[in-house]
Structure 1
Amino acid sequence: MTTLAFSAETVFWLCTALVAYAYVGYPLFVALLSQRYGQVPFESRLCPALTVVVAAYDEELRIAARIDDILAEDYPPQRLQVLVVSDGSRDGTADAAAIGDPRVRVLALPRNVGKAAAINAALRHVETELVAFTDVRQRFAPRALRALVAPFADPAIGAVTGELVIAAGKDRAATEGVGLYWRMEKRLRADEARLGWLHGVTGAIHAMRRHLFRPIPAGTVLDDMWMPLQVLWSGHQVWMSRHSIAHDHASASADEEFHRKLRTLAGNWQLLARMPALMNPFANPVFFAWFSHKFLRLLVPWALLLALAASALASGPFYRWAFYAQLLGYAGAMIGLGLPKLASRLPLLPAASGFVMLNLAALLSLPASLAGPSRLWRKH
């Protein structure tokens, strides 16, 4: 009985330490290290020739407005091009994208091949040294592209990500906790960038040197992880320009947000299967950051379950209180997910609900990744 109690206590503290490190310890460590040793790349006000690639599928109603938004950027018109890839759209996306501006080209693929393959097709038609990527649903701030290309004046920079700003949707309570997580995530990415550890970009607004692009395997969910990792593998760095802003709207509901998180987290498992070198500290130049930031978060929900079970088995009043506190916290979080308007009136409950939603998605991400990428995509 003593051995069981000791074992349960050890498991509880190990699991608690893993969760605390993944969400608190590592971000704090990176923030402190960034303040002391972080570096900022040299930037230039020059605007090099740039092609913005937009992969679109059945976006007839939104594509023209998206193109107009890009062309309205405060960027020299003669140096800006837009390449729209209609990924086997069943509607009039390709025709709607042909707005009659010579700076806009449309590549209509005969069948739907997925975003990764569509980007591969687009890059075969890009002639500029710098290429940017965005989606249809976002909008750029007026000087977003200028800020995005400025760090490329530093030859060490191979890719740059902008910052995605998410406006609250109609159901503010449903995604308030996730919004807090996203603000913390952006701060962590900015700190990692200053250390040369950044290994992901936001698909809404990012750019890279064209010669560093490597074809993305068909069906890859996280193209916005595959591309920057290839840049790092080439010996270059990924930077985050917080003045390069893309605007988006929040998910309409907690269910929609959950599906997005599930797709992203499942994509991490898929990426690991396709890039096993990620687990090799001698081959992965940002192994410590990737392992601490991405991989451990896939393990957190399992650690949470083990901590709950261990606290139930351990002896002593502390562990009994810990067990009941966990049950109470999970119950409150589930109530918050089911009654978001009520949760918005109670301090910390939206954050707890967002945390539980995120980790439920992480828990289901492995079986979701095994189900195949086609089941992870859903248009909103």
Structure 2
Amino acid sequence: MRLLFWSSFGVVVYAYIGYAAWLWLLVRLHKRPVLRERAVPFVSIIIAARNEEATLPAKLANLRLLDYPADRLQIIVASDGSTDRTAEILQENAPAVLPVILSESQGKATALNQAVHRATGDILVFFDARQSVEYDAVSQLVSCFADPQVGAVSGELLLETPSERPSGEALGIYWKIEKLVRKLESASGSVVGVTGAIYAIRRSLYTEIPQGTLLDDVYIPMHVARCGRRVVFHPEAIARDHVSTEKGKEFSRKVRTLTGNYQLLRLEPWLLSLKNPLLFRFISHKLLRLLVPMLLIVMLITSALAGGAFYHAIFSIEVLFYLMAALGGLGTPIRRFKPIAIASTFVVLNAAAALAFCNFITGRNKVWAR
């Protein structure tokens, strides 16, 4: 029991702290900077949209403010079987925007593929319809391709409260930790995935995405890495989003993302072989976190059964932690106490991982989720 407890504890600590510590050490020993230069290659901006009439006008207005030369920029938006005014809005904005209208919904992956087929740019820049991007976002992404080893570049997503301040909630803290890991991965080689709201790749490295794929922002960069190119994180290329105040929305997004990780293993079994140049990073960053919910249950049970005052104390601490998480679920006022907010968020994220596993084995994969 004690061996099982400490083995589980060790994996959990490594998944959230140990891997970041290893990357930090690797950066200190062998940092790999990225060559950046101002350049203006022809760029195709790719957006897949489904029922985005509420956000699309603001997004198109946002893109008109980009500082990139208009004659070196192509904007393609694919409407994936939208049932609202999305297709009409796109047609109204032609020819500044090249609309790709799919009469029936086939999923985001298919919409992206169809848009890329019409792209003429040397660099493909992928944005989502919901978030706004900084005026220099494209220029910042493109500057990294001056390095011939770079095949894909991820930008940074800033989560903000409705007051337009960076989120101080526990979810914001989790996202800061995630971005720290990505920065360390980039500085030491390649990141495992990119920020779906803002990333770019060389057109020659684009791989057709299988229909129904949930995580294009992992599928595409992993294929770029397989081609021997780096996937880097550039925090000066910025997209902004608001933390959703709609109950359950952020949880649904997390479930979708984690379900997508399971799906990738079925779609691309080479990810768990030596054909994957980022195998160690993929396991450490993506897969171990999927195991954490089960390991937490093992820790709770084994600490209860191990016997002795020390393990009884650990069991009591675990129970207290989960009680704090439960209190955090009661509402906003009590979540202002940061330990409760952190405990609640940690448990919710791992509940999302558990639900993602259930979704995967039962085939309940959602292709579109905002």
**Count of residue pairs brought into register by the alignment:** 368
> Are 2:340 and 1:354 equivalent residues in the alignment?
no
**Is the 1:175–1:254 contact (alpha carbons within 8 Å) kept by the matching residues of 2?**
no
Give me the whole-angstrom Cα distance separating, in 1, the residues matched to 2:22 and 2:244: 31
> Are 2:23 and 1:42 equivalent residues in the alignment?
no
**Is the 1:75–1:146 contact (alpha carbons within 8 Å) kept by the matching residues of 2?**
yes
CA RMSD of aligned residues (A): 1.7
Segments of structure 2 that go 5 or more residues without pairing to the other structure are none
**Is the 2:128–2:197 contact (alpha carbons within 8 Å) kept by the matching residues of 1?**
yes
Query: In structure 1, which of residues 134, 142, 145 is the aligned counterpart of residue 135 of structure 2?
Result: 142
Q: TM-score, normalised by structure 1?
A: 0.93
SS of residue matched to 2:329: helix
Give me the whole-angstrom Cα distance separating, in 1, the residues matched to 2:282 and 2:312: 35
Alignment of 1:7-26 (within 5 A): 8-26=1-19
Amino acid in structure 2 at the alignment position of 1:284: N
Shift of 1:311: 0.3
> Are 2:336 and 1:336 equivalent residues in the alignment?
no
Q: Which deviations, in whole Å up to 9, do the C-alpha atoms of 1:265-299 show, x marking residues without a partner?
A: 1110001111111111x211011111111110001
Partner of 1:245: 238
> Once structures 1 and 2 are overlaid, which stretch shifts more, 42-51 or 310-319?
42-51
Shift of 1:372: 3.2
Partner of 1:270: 263
Give me the whole-angstrom Cα distance separating, in 2, the residues matched to 1:60 and 1:190: 34
Amino acid in structure 1 at the alignment position of 2:343: A
> Are 2:184 and 1:191 equivalent residues in the alignment?
yes
**Is the 1:67–1:97 contact (alpha carbons within 8 Å) kept by the matching residues of 2?**
no
**Is the 2:153–2:201 contact (alpha carbons within 8 Å) kept by the matching residues of 1?**
yes
Give me the whole-angstrom Cα distance separating, in 1, the residues matched to 2:368 and 2:88: 24
Give me the whole-angstrom Cα distance separating, in 1, the residues matched to 2:113 and 2:363: 20
Give me the whole-angstrom Cα distance separating, in 2, the residues matched to 1:222 and 1:341: 35
- From the superposition, tell whether residues 376 and 218 of structure 1 become closer, same or farther in structure 2 (CA, over 3 Å): closer
**Is the 1:219–1:373 contact (alpha carbons within 8 Å) kept by the matching residues of 2?**
no
> Are 2:301 and 1:309 equivalent residues in the alignment?
yes
Segments of structure 1 that go 5 or more residues without pairing to the other structure are 1-7
Query: In structure 1, which of residues 65, 68, 73 is the aligned counterpart of residue 66 of structure 2?
Result: 73
Alignment of 1:152-231 (within 5 A): 152-169=145-162, 176-231=169-224
Partner of 1:3: none
Give me the whole-angstrom Cα distance separating, in 2, the residues matched to 1:254 and 1:354: 14
- From the superposition, tell whether residues 183 and 59 of structure 1 become closer, same or farther in structure 2 (CA, over 3 Å): same
> Once structures 1 and 2 are overlaid, which stretch shifts more, 335-344 or 181-190?
335-344
- Percentage identity across paired residues of the two chains: 39
- From the superposition, tell whether residues 266 and 295 of structure 1 become closer, same or farther in structure 2 (CA, over 3 Å): same
Give me the whole-angstrom Cα distance separating, in 2, the residues matched to 1:111 and 1:354: 37
Partner of 2:312: 320
Give me the whole-angstrom Cα distance separating, in 2, the residues matched to 1:16 and 1:143: 44
- From the superposition, tell whether residues 334 and 107 of structure 1 become closer, same or farther in structure 2 (CA, over 3 Å): same
Q: Which deviations, in whole Å up to 9, do the C-alpha atoms of 1:87-124 show, x marking residues without a partner?
A: 11112212212344533211101111100011111111
Q: TM-score, normalised by structure 2?
A: 0.96
Give me the whole-angstrom Cα distance separating, in 2, the residues matched to 1:169 and 1:302: 35
SS of residue matched to 1:136: coil
SS of residue matched to 1:98: helix
Give me the whole-angstrom Cα distance separating, in 1, the residues matched to 2:311 and 2:246: 36
Shift of 1:348: 1.6
**Is the 1:53–1:133 contact (alpha carbons within 8 Å) kept by the matching residues of 2?**
yes
Give me the whole-angstrom Cα distance separating, in 1, the residues matched to 2:224 and 2:243: 30
